[in-house]
Amino acid sequence: MSIISDSLKRIKPSPTIAVTQKARELRIAGKDVIGLGAGEPDFDTPKNIKKSAIRAIKDGETKYTAVDGTPKLKNAIIKKFKRENNLKYSTDEITVGTGGKQVIYNTFMATLNKGDEVIIPAPFWVSYPDIVLLAGGKPKIVKCSESEEFKLTPKKLKKAISKKTKWLILNSPSNPTGIGYTKKEITNLSKVLIQKKKIHILSDDIYEHITYDNFKFSTIAQISKLKSRTLTMNGVSKSYAMTGWRIGYAGGPKNIIKAIRKIQSQSTSNPSSISQAAAVEALNGTQKFIKKRSNAFKQRRDFVVESLNKINGINCLKPNGAFYVFPNCKKLLGKKTKLKNDSDFVKKLLEKSNVAVVQGSAFGLDGHFRISYATSMKKLKVAMKRIKSFCEKIS
Topology of the domain comprising 63-284: Aspartate Aminotransferase; domain 2 (3.40.640)
pLDDT at 295 > cutoff 80: yes
The pLDDT-based confidence of 15 (bands split at 50, 70, 90) is: confident
Question: What was the pLDDT predicted at 238?
Answer: 97
Q: Which of the two residues, 5 and 105, has the higher pLDDT score? A: 105
Percent of the chain with pLDDT over 90: 91
User: 299-323, pLDDT tens digit by residue?
Assistant: 999 999 999 999 999 999 999 999 9
User: 223-282, pLDDT tens digit by residue?
Assistant: 999 999 999 999 999 999 999 999 999 999 999 999 999 999 999 999 999 999 999 999
Question: What was the pLDDT predicted at 17?
Answer: 78
Average pLDDT over residues 346-354: 93
The pLDDT-based confidence of 112 (bands split at 50, 70, 90) is: very high
Three-state SS annotation for the chain: CCCCCHHHHCCCCCHHHHHHHHHHHHHHCCCCCEECCCCCCCCCCCHHHHHHHHHHHHCCCCCCCCCCCCHHHHHHHHHHHHHHHCCCCCHHHEEEECCHHHHHHHHHHHHCCCCCEEEEEECCCCHHHHHHHHCCCEEEEEECCHHHCCCCCHHHHHHHCCCCEEEEEEECCCCCCCCCCCHHHHHHHHHHHHHCCCCEEEEECCCCCCECCCCCCCCHHHCHHHHHHEEEEEECCCCCCCHHHCCEEEECCHHHHHHHHHHHHCCCCCCCHHHHHHHHHHHHCCCHHHHHHHHHHHHHHHHHHHHHHCCCCCECCCCCECCEECCECHHHCECCCCECCHHHHHHHHHHHHCEECEEHHHHCCCCEEEEECCCCHHHHHHHHHHHHHHHHHHC
Average pLDDT over residues 319-331: 98
- Contact, 14 vs 127, CB < 8 A? yes
Average pLDDT over residues 204-226: 98
The pLDDT-based confidence of 11 (bands split at 50, 70, 90) is: confident
User: 27-41, pLDDT tens digit by residue?
Assistant: 888 889 999 988 899
Topology of the domain comprising 6-44+289-394: Aspartate Aminotransferase, domain 1 (3.90.1150)
Average pLDDT over residues 135-147: 97
pLDDT at 169 > cutoff 90: yes
Question: What was the pLDDT predicted at 56?
Answer: 98
One fold for 6-44+289-394 and 63-284 = no
Question: What was the pLDDT predicted at 266?
Answer: 97
* Every domain of the chain and the residues it spans: 6-44+289-394, 63-284
Question: What was the pLDDT predicted at 25?
Answer: 86
User: 46-97, pLDDT tens digit by residue?
Assistant: 999 999 999 999 999 999 999 999 999 999 999 999 999 999 999 999 999 9
Question: What was the pLDDT predicted at 96?
Answer: 98
pLDDT at 203 > cutoff 80: yes
The verdict on pTM exceeding 0.75 is: yes
pLDDT at 355 > cutoff 90: yes
pLDDT at 19 > cutoff 80: no
Cα–Cα–Cα angle for 229, 235, 239, rounded to 5 degrees: 130
Question: What was the pLDDT predicted at 24?
Answer: 82
pLDDT at 1 > cutoff 80: no
The pLDDT-based confidence of 289 (bands split at 50, 70, 90) is: very high
Question: What was the pLDDT predicted at 13?
Answer: 78
Question: What was the pLDDT predicted at 299?
Answer: 98
Question: What was the pLDDT predicted at 7?
Answer: 82
